Amino acid sequence: MKAILLIDFGSTYTKVTAVDVDTETILGTSQSYTTIETDIINGLNNAVALLREKIGDIEFSEQYACSSAAGGLRMVAIGLVPELTAKAARQASLGAGAKVIKTYSYELTESDLQEIDRINPDICLLTGGTDGGNKENIVFNAKMLARSKGNFPIIIAGNRNCADTCAEILKDKQIHICENVMPRLDIPNVEPTQAKIREIFLEQIVKAKGLSNAEALVKGILMPTPSAMLTAMNLLAKGTKTESGIGDLVGVDLGGATTDIYSMSYGLPTTGGAALKGLRENYSKRTVEGDIGMRYSINGIVDAAGIERVAELSGLHEDRCRELIDYLSVHTDVVPADDDDELEKLDFALASLAIETAVTRHAGRLEPFYSPMGISYMQTGKDLTAVKTVIVTGGALIHTKRTAAIAAHAQFSPLDAMSLKPKEAEVLVDRKYILAAMGLLSTVYPDIALRIMKRELVKDGI
């Protein structure tokens, strides 16, 4: 037996997964509250102790970790045009596992600068202009950032012809220069910036979050948890040189504070007469709906979908829905008990609407217009209609018998005919909560991580 321990330091829970790479099996999983306010090692030790009660006192040959503790990796992104460089900057940040607190376009204002100081991000990404294109905007914004009171790292990833000028302006800050996130119009180049974001996370953010003490027990905090999730989804879709993947997919991670959506697909137009509008998106895409969550962001679900739909799906009266929602927004640790029929019905409605809202925002849309040739369509974002697999994870989806019914809301509805969500996708459920762990494992044992996922992800909510 060669046992490996995979650790996820979450904001609420520290989750551990034990894997035997010789037999390619999950030995066990466990979790405990993340003790970020005292010593993060305490929560890890508690989780490992619970795990050993299940699997015995075995020795681990290797230990790896990811983290989203203390709010995860918080970023602001600055670009020129909202639909182009600003969007490319956001794609780079989200794809690296960050939580983008704010995206700014055009020239920063005094109020923007004050807001950035209030946010005090872990990293600021400064972009703008294609190579050889607009210089004035990014140089102006560099001068504004030079006045910032914060000491956060700044990544310069804009027009290469003025990168050195921006670096000189920001010489008193922590600066890193990367390749332009959009060197040519409509052609994103986000991978170098994503690599730099992860590098800064490892070198600086882990230490700032109080996680460096944990490195005595593990080989290192390898990446932010969302990056581990994205790595797992990409591996599952594409496969390796020796092991085939399952093809294009959409992933849903429904949490208490946010809902993360992943898509592994180029999403090119499949509708006849449709042309792609705006920035072409990467094969691997992640979005974070910070206002959509089962507890901390419960009111965001209601704001997006309406209390009428919550009542309709739950079968409860609107007034009763409001009472329960107000209670849950304060008592965020409450989960439905076996005999709590009302709360179970409400959570079904909330989870369904959270997924519906988040996937709709993530997927592309068609905009009809009339030309001399008749009706045509302009596509923004990804066309996911042909995607055949939807993978779901998160407590509200794992700990319910109605997973498939909830996950159905990730798919196309005739009531929103212009949305490009999956039309006929099979649902796979991450019942053991292993996706982030498999993303970690894949950094050293990709074939094994892939085979475990293909075996452990359960079909149709069974």
Give the tens place of pLDDT for each residue, 339-386.
Answer: 678 889 999 999 999 999 999 999 999 998 887 777 888 898 999 999
Q: What is the mean pLDDT of the chain?
A: 87
**pLDDT number for residue 462:** 46
Closest by CA position to 104, among listed 78, 139, 65, 140: 78
pTM of this structure: 0.82
The per-residue pLDDT for range 138-166, each reduced to its tens digit, is 999 999 999 999 889 999 999 999 999 99
Q: What is the percentage of the chain residues whose pLDDT exceeds 90?
A: 53
Higher pLDDT, 239 or 66: 239
CATH class of 3-70+209-219: alpha beta
**Residue 373 CB-half CA count within 13 A:** 6
Query: Which backbone phi and psi does 255 adopt, to 5 degrees?
Result: -115, -175
CATH fold label, 73-203: Rossmann fold (3.40.50)
Q: What ranges do the domains of the chain cover?
A: 3-70+209-219, 73-203, 244-431
Instruction: For 269-290, write each residue's pLDDT tens digit.
Output: 888 778 888 778 889 998 888 7
Percent of the chain past pLDDT 70, that is, above it, reads 92
